[in-house]
Amino acid sequence: MFKHCSSIFKFNLMMVASQTREQDIAGSAKNSPINLDYNALKKAALVLRALNHKLRQQLLKLIEDEKKITVTEIYVRLRLEQSVASQHLAILRKAGIVSTERDGKFIFYTVNYKRIDEISQFVKDLVG
């Protein structure tokens, strides 16, 4: 008889402890609402997506190797359609990963190393 009472008592203690933990979790959730800047989150995702693409990685490597290169040189060297090269460069430019510099009728692309370092640090912080 005491064994049965003892196991009921242990079960009740476990239930109370479990409910207390759930209340603590629920209480802390009430006290600290989710505080995310969803607009900034969307922008961060666009920047990471810009780098997470094989063709854009090839573009970036070519620009880095050449230091300064025009879109014409890029699409000829990578054997791309001009429109494809331009679209991918626009994505990299919008993310701040490459910079442009006009010289007469030519627009030269260069790697924005400061931005690459910022992104690299962000990723290291994100993955811990």
Residue range 71-87, pLDDT digits in tens = 999 999 999 999 999 99
**φ, ψ at 98 (rounded to 5°):** -120, 155
**φ, ψ at 108 (rounded to 5°):** -100, 140
- Rounded CA gap, 18 and 103, in Å? 69
- Rounded CA gap, 115 and 91, in Å? 14
- CA 125 to each of CA 17, 119, 121, 128: distance values in angstroms, whole numbers, following the listed order: 35, 10, 6, 5
Please say if the pLDDT value at position 102 is more than 50.
yes
Q: Average pLDDT for residues 41-66, to the nearest whole number?
A: 96
pTM above 0.85, yes or no: no
Please say if the pLDDT value at position 22 is more than 80.
no
Model confidence band, residue 8 (pLDDT cutoffs 50, 70, 90): very low
Q: Which residue has the higher pLDDT, 56 or 4?
A: 56
